[in-house]
Amino acid sequence: MVEPLIKSDLQALVEPDNEAKKRSQLLTQCIIKKCDQSGGQIRFSEFMNIALYEPGLGYYSGGLQKFGYKGDFITAPEVSSLFGQCLAGRWMRYFKILSAYQMINYSL
């Protein structure tokens, strides 16, 4: 179950700078325009495509730093082998319980 944000959680959030707020407003306007052009709604996949890749405004195409001290927190498994090691440790426990190695299909 996901717990709702409480006041102390909201106070911990960093206030975006004016440039970030402006980019957010422009991106919001772009999404609203696309919704208007599509009869009032768009698919979630289209929303995400705009939010992530809109030229000059999207998360990945907007030019802001993604990683490092001034970037976002990283949880990607490509950053280190820790994610794979955690999965391997978990699966080894199951293999010991099963007492035999069996084919396991683990796909998302």
Q: What is the pLDDT of residues 18-34, one digit of tens each?
A: 988 999 999 999 999 99
Per-residue pLDDT at 74 exceeds 80: no
Instruction: State the residue for tokens 């809109």.
Output: 54
**How far apart are alpha carbons 82 and 79 in whole angstroms?**
9
**pTM for the whole thing?**
0.56
Confidence of residue 39 (pLDDT cuts 50, 70, 90): very high
pLDDT, position 87:
80
Per-residue pLDDT at 59 exceeds 70: yes
Answer whether 59's CB lies under 8 Å from 51's CB: yes
pLDDT, position 77:
66
